[in-house]
């Protein structure tokens, strides 16, 4: 039986899954004699805050600043994000911890790959993958690959040179590009490359003293040259074809890249623990409104997406006794009617229950009939801010 089926058959609540995650982190720490930090984003959920951001850096800083350990293992799942945020995270953890290993069992793409390459060690499962080095840049309302953007601009330039003109649509799009914007995209891509070339010799190669075959002493210049070769290969989009392409263990250990990877699957106990951590994160993303997880053995911070629906109904012009809100389940689409009391009046309960409404849950968690858990904390804050009164639960 697969781990996903095992946990589904156990019919665990979200709270039980959260407790299981912390238990697994504790187990991992004992196996590796380290301090594990789990950072995972719900890749694929249509939420703008999924990519790695500067706000994530502040949470990482807050959760790790008082940790008393020389070693840090950093479990990461992310589609990419801000190179500036990655730089801040690396600056902080490299000053705080003596030895750092990154653990990859899902996807650590783009900026996530850059972050992973700042470690002393890289631990990967067979399901784990890195991605081509790139920067994510904001163009208008969208966040896109810097490489893809530059490639598109160059393609239109060549098209204009050959034909002497662009079709009306492309001409309109190109006309909206400013020189400053284009320069910023180029700088973002170069910035990503420079981080890798700086960090690989400083951390991953710091104990590389002699070459593996010829036993020649390794100089700082050799380390930097090797880092430049690796960065160039990971930025070779002609090879990888897609910004989202998965780069697996075999690719990373190939002659063209040549990175040393610690294979998690070779250790049965470690393998089981890491795959379970990955599975629990996936279940929390699939069954709740959680879209980003920050966790250690002793604490956790989960970012929740507030369901979008009609605003709460709060009577205007008088001191309200109750507020009404309709919540749509993101999983199955069912609509739930919820009421929130501001005074301890049993008649309110009777009235709204007769209308098919449910009282605001004590733990701010609404469990849909389909099993999906909806976090109502954001809705509670909105109701209390708009009414100026506290909900009685």
Q: Which residues pair with 40 in a beta bridge?
A: 77, 293
Q: Which residues pair with 337 in a beta bridge?
A: 326
Contact partners, residue 272, CB within 8 Å, separation at least 6: none
Q: What's the pLDDT band for 39 if we cut at 50, 70, 90?
A: very high
Whether residue 67 has pLDDT greater than 70 = yes
Whether 36 contacts 68, CB under 8 Å:
no
Q: What is the chain's mean pLDDT, rounded?
A: 87
Q: Which residue has the higher pLDDT, 205 or 142?
A: 205
Whether 200 contacts 117, CB under 8 Å:
yes
The β-bridge relationship of strands 36-41 and 71-77 is parallel
Dihedral sign (CA 310, 315, 317, 318): negative
Highest mean pLDDT, choosing among 146-155, 231-240, 250-259: 250-259
Whether residue 282 has pLDDT greater than 80 = yes
Q: What's the pLDDT band for 79 if we cut at 50, 70, 90?
A: very high
* Of 137, 114, 131, the residue nearest 192 (C-alpha): 114
The residue ranges of every structural domain in the chain are: 3-136+182-304, 322-387
Cα–Cα distance, 288 to 285 (Å, whole number)? 6
Contact partners, residue 142, CB within 8 Å, separation at least 6: none
Backbone dihedral region of 326: left (phi > 0), alpha (psi from -120 to 50 degrees) or beta? Answer: beta
Give me the percent of the chain exceeding a pLDDT of 90. Answer: 53
Q: Which residue has the higher pLDDT, 180 or 97?
A: 97
* Of 63, 55, 64, the residue nearest 301 (C-alpha): 63
Superfamily of domain 3-136+182-304: 2-enoyl-CoA Hydratase; Chain A, domain 1 (3.90.226.10)
Question: Mind listing the pLDDT tens digit for each residue in 98-130?
Answer: 999 999 999 999 899 999 999 999 999 999 999
Whether 179 contacts 198, CB under 8 Å:
no
Q: What's the pLDDT band for 235 if we cut at 50, 70, 90?
A: confident
Q: In a 10 Å sphere around its CB, with 0-12 CB exposed, 13-18 middle and 19+ buried, how is residue 209 labelled?
A: exposed
pLDDT of residue 237: 66
Mean pLDDT of 142-159: 71
Q: What is the reported pTM?
A: 0.81
Q: Which residue has the higher pLDDT, 17 or 138?
A: 17
Whether 149 contacts 177, CB under 8 Å:
no
* Rg over CA atoms, the chain: 25
Mean pLDDT of 222-247: 80
Q: Which residue has the higher pLDDT, 294 or 384?
A: 294
Whether 148 contacts 190, CB under 8 Å:
no
Whether 158 contacts 174, CB under 8 Å:
no
């Amino acid at each position: 039986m697969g781990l996903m089926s095992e946990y589904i058959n156990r019919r665990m609540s979200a709270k039980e899954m959260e407790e299981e995650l912390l238990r697994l982190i504790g187990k991992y720490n004992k196996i590796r004699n380290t301090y594990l930090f789990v950072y995972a984003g719900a890749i694929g959920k249509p939420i703008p805050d999924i990519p790695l951001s500067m706000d994530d850096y502040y949470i990482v800083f807050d959760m790790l600043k008082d940790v008393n350990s020389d070693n840090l293992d950093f479990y990461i799942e992310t589609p990419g994000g801000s190179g500036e945020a990655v730089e801040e995270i690396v600056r902080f953890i490299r000053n705080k911890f003596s030895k750092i290993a990154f653990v990859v069992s899902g996807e650590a793409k783009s900026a996530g790959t850059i972050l992973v390459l700042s470690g002393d060690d890289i631990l990967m499962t067979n399901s784990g993958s890195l991605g081509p080095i790139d920067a994510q840049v904001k163009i208008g309302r969208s966040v896109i690959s810097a490489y893809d953007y530059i490639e598109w601009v160059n393609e239109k330039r060549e098209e204009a040179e050959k034909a002497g003109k662009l079709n009306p649509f492309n001409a309109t799009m190109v006309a909206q590009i400013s020189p400053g914007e284009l320069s910023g995209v180029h700088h973002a891509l170069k910035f990503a490359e420079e981080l890798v070339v700086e960090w690989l010799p400083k951390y991953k190669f710091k104990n590389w003293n002699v070459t593996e075959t010829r036993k020649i002493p390794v100089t700082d210049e050799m380390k930097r040259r090797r880092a430049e070769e690796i960065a160039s290969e990971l930025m070779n989009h002609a090879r990888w074809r897609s910004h989202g392409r998965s780069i697996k263990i075999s690719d990373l250990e190939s002659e063209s890249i040549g990175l040393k990877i610690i294979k998690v699957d070779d250790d049965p106990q470690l393998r089981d623990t890491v795959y379970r951590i990955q599975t629990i994160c996936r279940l929390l993303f699939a069954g709740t409104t959680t879209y980003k997880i920050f966790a250690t053995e002793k604490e956790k911070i989960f970012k929740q997406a507030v369901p979008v629906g009609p605003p709460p109904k709060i009577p205007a012009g008088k001191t309200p006794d109750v507020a009404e809100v309709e919540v749509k389940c993101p999983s199955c689409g069912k609509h739930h009617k919820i009421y929130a009391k501001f005074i301890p009046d049993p008649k309110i309960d009777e009235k709204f229950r007769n209308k098919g409404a449910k009282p605001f849950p004590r733990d701010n968690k609404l469990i849909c009939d389909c099993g999906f858990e909806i976090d109502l904390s954001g809705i509670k804050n909105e109701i209390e801010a708009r009414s100026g009164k506290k909900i009685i639960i």
